[in-house]
Structure 1
Amino acid sequence: MLSLGDGSQHDLLHKDELLIRSQQASVTLNNTPLVFVGYGIIAPQYKWDDYAGIDVVGKVVVVLPNDPGGERFLGERMTYYGRWEYKYEEAARQGAAGVIIVHTDELFGSAFPLVRDEMRRAFRFLPGAVRSGLEFESICSERFGRQLLSTAGVDLDAFVAAPWPMANRACRLNACLQLHLNFDIGIRHCRNVLAMKKGRLFPRQCVLLCAHWDHLGKTSDRTQPRGYYPGAVDNAIGVSVLLELARRLATAAPLRRTVLFAWTSAEEVGMLGSARVAQLITETGLNVVAALNVDGFVPIGKTHDLSLVDGDQSDLPEAFVRAGKSLNRLITLDDEPRAGYFYRSDQASFAKIGIPSVQVSTGSNLLKGGVQEGMKRHDFYDSNTYHRTSDTFNRNWDFASICADIDVLHETLLMLGDSLCRVRLRSR
């Protein structure tokens, strides 16, 4: 129940206007105050701090999705600060009791019904992660978010058009949250598969190759005859690519640096497998110089290019450009940077701990048909096969392009694995 300063009360859960999940078995809040902290970002490199001088301990913070963009951030390219995961992590670090993200289609990048469906699924998490300090995390509808912000005189459109850091002037909303919820928590076990080819000179330095082996499991949709999601493209092909690279390394002399292979689980439910690998890297002090995540290899036919999603995070794409040039292949970068695809697969887990990371995927510039035909085939896969039970092997698939992509990956791996240089990180 949410109580506003005008005396009105709102049962947001009943109206599906406040979508809540938690890592706690029981959550109880009694008239806990709400504080608007803008985008909820602390980014020293962008001279932005929404929490400086503000005490949010034990309070519920209300934040906006995405980041301010413009000249102070990376313009149209979303930074990690724009992801909802970051909003929850930072609020937990600040000691907040909970978080409400105000949804808008434009800032969030997806419609509220899609977000509602996601929030209704079982919430999976790693125990001991930063977010576990929160009592709850939530997303509210735009309609109610606007009403909530208006209690402190904040016009959402005006703020988005001309945002400012909230440091020392956060708006305490004229509202309090009363909440009592119980959650069922179960423990599930899943496994990552790791393999290593030890480096001959610098065994503590390594290049990480990653592909997730999980998909979405069974479906309750009785209209689907198979009853499960096979995941041939997403991501059995990626798993196979790593197996082929491992085969090549197994028969060759060791590189100067170690090569670590990680076939991760639980990517589809929050990149939990790669998050666990990142924890192990931190705990062991392994020096990972680059992480290459293979996800999105689609057998659409032979292309001129290999596609990278790099988040403008590092100079790692330059190694691919050099490798591609030696094999007469082009390297193209993410053409929708504002959508934040960099943070939607396993590379994000490694980027969060300061490792130069990239996602490697099939390009779109077909030898026969060019970019227009390539995008058409990608769109067909996204609309008809992605995350569906139809994602099964087809003997008519053309693997010529994927074999050529493996060659570029292999050449890049050799460059990185035998190098004495470091990949330069940029501001995230």
Structure 2
Amino acid sequence: MSHLYDQFSDNIFYANTLSGADPDDVKALYVAYHNECVDLSTYTGLNYLSYAFSVIDCAGLARQQELRHFSCSNSSLSKKQGLISLLQQNRSLAELTISRLSLSAEDAARISGFAELRYLTLSDTSMTAVPGGWSLLSQLQELTLEAQPLTQLPDELGSLAALTALSLKQCRFSKVPDVIGQLSALKTLDLSDNPIRELPESMARLTALEEIDLSGCQLASLPEWLTDLPALKKVNVRNNPFTDLPPALKKLKSKLKIDLKDKALYDSSAREKLMQKSGLVSDFADFGFKLMVIQKLMYEDKTLRPAFDVCEFVKKPENAHMDPESEQAYQVMPEVRDYFQKLGIPQHLLADITELCADGGDDIYSQLAPRWSGSEDYFDMHSAQDIRHLPKLNVIESPFLTTSFCDEADAFDVEVIAL
């Protein structure tokens, strides 16, 4: 949506409503889905002009001098004709939106001539940089680059001292360009729908940042410094594959827009709410199978919290008689076994498991029998009936699979690999 739309919405003319109109009254024009070229030569006082899926009148556009908004999406333009050069006479242009249109490097550089430009949108264009450096755009108040095939940003972008809003949505960035950390006046930042895996320390310098959108990225965690940004009002991190999140995120409270399953990684109340909402599964037909599931969720994916630690467990008064270093630790400790047998696992976590791979050295086994030698069959699996709890399970690989388990597993169409 145009930032200036509300100023012109009540007086916008359309290509089919121009007939009989006084040219002096036509200040805003929207040409959309029009096969014939609309002659602009008599409408030289336009303040607002928008093209969408239409043929551009190059000669008429070149005569405009009072445009404050110009947008163009999926519209026909001669490859020999530079769109920005046609707009050069509009020195008061405040908003420029270009979508799905190729800009030459030379023509793109002319954007710097619009000294009063406040909003720039370059959506799905073939331009990846402004020749001569993005520093030429020093007068911009807002820059938006949406759905472009950008893989990096030039260092010159750091000189945009007046830049307060930056959108790099769907630009295929696998990491955040370090130059963003130099934009000290930045108030809003949109990095959504990029395959970004982590946030660089340089972003901690964005002390004026009020809103940041990181939804739809590939973030596994978030840095604690994010909670210390003084002006922050809104953080959207929904739809990310988080595996671990710092407890410090609690400080953001309602400012943080996050999925409940991810909030449960650092907030115990959210974890309880999630368990109540999704339901818990505690009864498993085979204890060895349940341990393999717990190993994946608690110690590998780190989505089943809190992680059990036998050393902390024995510090509780009721467990004071236990000693992980004693002779009893060669066998499965009954109190620990009881804990894991009663442990409820949220159904939504079970529903996401596609593979289970066990090893004698896994954390779960050292919690149950800290001094286990590996020779006893404490953790053998005999029944495959619990596979019903894991609808997406494809593969099971373990040294603890018995013949009976493998025979039963055939009925569930799951690949079983006995090590």
Structure with bigger strand share is 1
State which structure, 1 or 2, has the greater radius of gyration over its C-alpha atoms.
2
**Structure 2 length normalisation: TM-score?**
0.22
**Structure 1 length normalisation: TM-score?**
0.21
Ranked by relative contact order (alpha carbons within 8 Å, sequence separation 6 or more), the top structure is: 1
